[in-house]
Chains A and B, each alone.
Chain A
Amino acid sequence: MKALLFERTIPRYAASRIASTLGGSGKGVKVGPLRLTDNASEPGIPGPDWQRLTVRLSGICGSDLATLDGHSSRYFEDIVSFPFVPGHEIVADNDEGQRVVVEPVLTCAARNVSPPCAPCSAGDTGCCTSLSLGHLAPGLQTGFCADTGGGWGRYLVAHASQVHPVPENFSDEDAVMVEPAACGVHAALAAKLTGGETVALLGAGTLGLVTLAALRRWSSPRTIVVGAKYPIQKEWAAKLGADLVVEPSEVLRAVRRVTGSMVAAPASATVSDSAPGLGPRRASAGSSRRRGAWSPGASASPRRLSGGADLVIDCVGNATSLDTALSVVRPRGKVLLVGMPGPVRIDLAPLWHREVSVAGAYAYGRETALDGSPRTFDLAFELVGEHSLGQLVSARYPLERHAEAVAHAAAAGPRGSVKIVFDPRRRR
């Protein structure tokens, strides 16, 4: 069958890492381990509760880009099997002609692991501990497992526990947004907001936007400040309920304003007798008598607040966003990592000093924060339907134009786009 196949070739992996480092995200795809083939093996049916799916659409996610760029963490090496067909945001048809979306985590149920692990028993399938066990090759999700295929191929297989029928009124674009929306729902509920908080949300790509929508739907923070880089992201952030949408570089100032905090700065950065127009200098003796602990020099390049947001949701996951998160979170506040982080180098001193909690929010399962512990995917369907989130799908590409598609996804914001998807049915 036709598919994009990701193979384990160290030289190509290194080449993609170098190309993306030098040229930017998406630039490594032509030299990396991803290749288009017409002869990929169609995945076999692993067991009685499995079904074959024919892909309609499959999205390109930030974690896919990190993988293609060679920047994903080595942490995943043991829970991925090669070669795999990427693509875990999937809307497909089963052999009965039913349109379904795939919940891609390969849990104990899918792996035929019995008894299931404790998280799976509790419905907390995103935290399944059996990702390399059972009758399947290792793989945290469909799209990272050699045995299941993925959305970037014509066909894949899915366990009955993984498929969710798509309502008739959903377009394919709506349906392909259900998986990322589920991530956003889980993140919003993992935040455990009780009401009245100030939330800073960093990043307004797909994940940031669906998390924002879910925050507004299932919690009642007082203020949500969103750091968004591009006009389309800003527009959608405002539409989905942000109180304040600012440039990423303005997040600290915005959080300061809405929380009434001060800016912290080292005393050596203070001013007073200014050289004409050349910016701040050290304070003169006369002016230092009234200098406070929160010094004015901080305004030159504010780095940290005295107070801050109760919760910072990082939907980017790089060193800059993590540093910003730690700069704007209040003492004993919480930072929630929703965007997939890789290896980063950051200063954890503020985390220690201000007793900040950092938590991850990955995937989905059942949401115990709500009555009846509904499945995250059920809530995601609700969220997508409410906002017609299929509108976030900006372009479809055939597998043949995968390099273009990946480049588009990597530059979605600057190109006025949000979500880029493959349509394996198309040839051009």
Chain B
Amino acid sequence: MPRPGFVLEVDRSTPPTLFWYGERFRLERLPTGSRVIYAPEPHAPLADPDAAIASALDNPLGDSPPLSGLLRPGMRLTIAFDDVSLPLPPMKSPDVRGQVIEAVLDRAAAAGVDDVVLIAALALHRRMTDAELRHALGPRVYDAFAPHGFLTQHDAEDPDGIVHIGETDQGEDVELNRRAAESDLIVYVNINLVAMDGGHKSVATGLASYNSLRHHHNPATMVHSRSFMDQHRSELHSSNWRMGRLIAASGIKIFQIETTLNTNTFPEQFGFLQKREWEWTMKDRAGFLAASKALQHTPPKVARSIFHSIRAPHAMTSVQAGEVEAVHAVTTENVYAQQMVAVSGQTDILTMGLPYISPYNVNSIMNPILVACLGLGYFFNLYRGKPLVRQGGVVILSHPTPWAFHPVHHPSYIDFFEQVLSQTTDPVAMSTTFEESYARDPWYIHLYRTSNAYHGVHPFYMWYWCAHALDHLGQVIVVGGEPRAVRRLGFKPASTLADALEMASDTVGRDPSITHLHAPPLLLADVT
């Protein structure tokens, strides 16, 4: 039986706590009385994933007929799937998307459906590489579709490939991928790594255009999403739900398939990363020491290469299919069951060790904007109820924050960092002054459409993810970050955790409460 999450109170006997530090680690001694929040242990995987998938397709939730009942000869079937941003790290083969899509294709073949197109639901993310597509879909699906042009990637800037569906009652434009919208059925295959994923967000965001996305990817929506992991208190989700219902009302049929994964995040050689420090065995200690020492002398590029080659041993814990909202309700409960940790009370200072990977730098560089987004956009929002850190409190991040960008994946990020952040860190100010020019820039659009670049507007979205935290916090400090890059973000650099705590005392006084978010593996703090 896996143990639930745990909140440790640090005392004199507590060993040093492991902090992620990009492609390295730090061992930090937290002051006595600090709290450390550990993720629940991984839930048991489904014993027979293929049988579970089959069962979900044949016994759908909500008012949906079984998948086979929706399939007929001569129909247009579009299968959309989550892109490279999920899961993190990329999972060992077979990826659940490939497993589910194989089952869907078996039923389509049995029903005589021969107009089938696969679409990677990129939204404004970068196009996936061939290798990434092959990994996500598995070689059988990839080889059957890619050579014939039936494996496509959503292009939010294709003037002929986007169709306007309508406007919500809040005046939000809903625009979708034309192939998907004009299909007789969309089957959406998702990986629900965190509670924020899935539901109406899958189609309404993943297959949408900038004109559509801007209605919820903006500072006002983000600052009123408290948190992204709590659908009922998230403006981001409210907007997506309005759009999703409009899509359904327009007659577009969606059969949603959602999967959840356990928190088994790292392979055995990195087993110490998902154990509590006082439970480290000799093998774990040796593994940590060997990894730490080796990484200290490893050039950053090589270290990055090593870490990005990690394939997570994630395993599927549930799969459900059918009508979007009914499916997502169950999915969300399954995510909560795996990740939720009860935490009593907020903290003055929240510390976080940020790892080498975020949803937007898979096989890429964690640039400073993504460091901010991972810390303040994602980890800060890993709560339900109240933020882990109190209003006006301090977040201390641990990350080297190099002034480095992947020139192909993140071209507009470079300009955003150089032009926008040098003038303002205010999400509202940058959205009114700069967003449109980046979103409509023909070069960024060209790179997004033809290369492997994130859309020109994407760095703005990364910064907007931070809007709630920026609005809430009194100070952000980065331990071990490159000072110039950290200052450009509007944060303060500190060389050690002790320095950071000293600096934080200006904001929270001399005797603050301290909580460390020990993630990944991912967790969700239910703060009361």
Stretch at the interface among B58-66, B189-197, B443-451, B518-526: B443-451
Task: List CB contacts (< 8 Å) of B440-461 with chain A.
Answer: 441-443, 446-447, 449-453
Cβ–Cβ < 8 Å partners of B305 in chain A = 275-278
Q: Is A239 on the interface with B (CB-CB < 8 A)?
A: no
Cβ–Cβ < 8 Å partners of A297 in chain B = 407-408
Q: Beyond A286-B130, A296-B452, is A257–B447 a contact (Cβ under 8 Å)?
A: no
Interchain nearest-CB distance for A299 vs B (Å): 4
Q: Is A253 on the interface with B (CB-CB < 8 A)?
A: yes
The B contact surface, by secondary structure, is: helix
- Contact partner, B450, options A247, A250, A290, Cβ 8 Å: A290
- Contact partner, B408, options A250, A276, A296, Cβ 8 Å: A296
- Contact (Cβ within 8 A) A254 B131: no
Closest residue on chain B to residue A271 by CB atoms: B408
Closest residue on chain A to residue B303 by CB atoms: A277
Task: Kindly state the separation between the CA atoms of A275 and B309 in the bound complex, as whole angstroms.
Answer: 9
Stretch at the interface among B169-177, B216-224, B412-420: B412-420
Stretch at the interface among A81-89, A122-130, A207-215, A259-267: A259-267
- Contact (Cβ within 8 A) B131 A270: no
Interchain nearest-CB distance for B118 vs A (Å): 14
Among A250, A254, A271, A274, max chain B CB count under 10 A is at: A274
Task: Kindly state the separation between the CA atoms of A254 and B418 in the bound complex, as whole angstroms.
Answer: 9
- Contact (Cβ within 8 A) B363 A274: yes
- Contact (Cβ within 8 A) B414 A286: no
Q: Is A246 on the interface with B (CB-CB < 8 A)?
A: yes
Q: Is A300 on the interface with B (CB-CB < 8 A)?
A: yes
Task: Kindly state the separation between the CA atoms of A311 and B363 in the bound complex, as whole angstroms.
Answer: 40
Q: Is A73 on the interface with B (CB-CB < 8 A)?
A: no
Q: Is B214 on the interface with A (CB-CB < 8 A)?
A: no
Q: Is B483 on the interface with A (CB-CB < 8 A)?
A: no
- Contact (Cβ within 8 A) A246 B451: no
- Contact (Cβ within 8 A) B418 A300: no
- Contact (Cβ within 8 A) A300 B407: yes
Among A246, A256, A277, A278, max chain B CB count under 10 A is at: A277
Cβ–Cβ < 8 Å partners of B131 in chain A = 273, 284
Task: Kindly state the separation between the CA atoms of A366 and B416 in the bound complex, as whole angstroms.
Answer: 44
Cβ–Cβ < 8 Å partners of A284 in chain B = 129-131
Q: Beyond A270-B451, A284-B130, A299-B453, is A261–B443 a contact (Cβ under 8 Å)?
A: yes
Q: Is A50 on the interface with B (CB-CB < 8 A)?
A: no
Q: Is A272 on the interface with B (CB-CB < 8 A)?
A: yes
Task: Kindly state the separation between the CA atoms of A250 and B419 in the bound complex, as whole angstroms.
Answer: 9
Cβ–Cβ < 8 Å partners of B442 in chain A = 260, 262
Interchain nearest-CB distance for A156 vs B (Å): 45
- Contact partner, A256, options B127, B146, B443, Cβ 8 Å: B443
- Contact (Cβ within 8 A) B446 A292: yes
Q: Is B12 on the interface with A (CB-CB < 8 A)?
A: no
Digitize B381-415: 1 where CB-to-A-CB distance is under 8 Å, 0 elsewhere: 00000000000000000000000001111010011
- Contact (Cβ within 8 A) B129 A247: no
- Contact (Cβ within 8 A) B130 A273: yes
Task: Kindly state the separation between the CA atoms of A301 and B414 in the bound complex, as whole angstroms.
Answer: 12
Cβ–Cβ < 8 Å partners of B449 in chain A = 290
- Contact (Cβ within 8 A) A296 B418: no
What are 27 A-B residue pairs whose CB atoms fall within 8 Å in the complex?
A: A253-B414, A253-B418, A257-B441, A260-B441, A260-B443, A273-B132, A274-B452, A275-B305, A275-B363, A276-B305, A276-B308, A276-B364, A277-B365, A278-B305, A279-B406, A280-B407, A284-B129, A286-B130, A287-B127, A287-B129, A287-B451, A294-B446, A296-B447, A296-B452, A299-B411, A300-B407, A301-B407
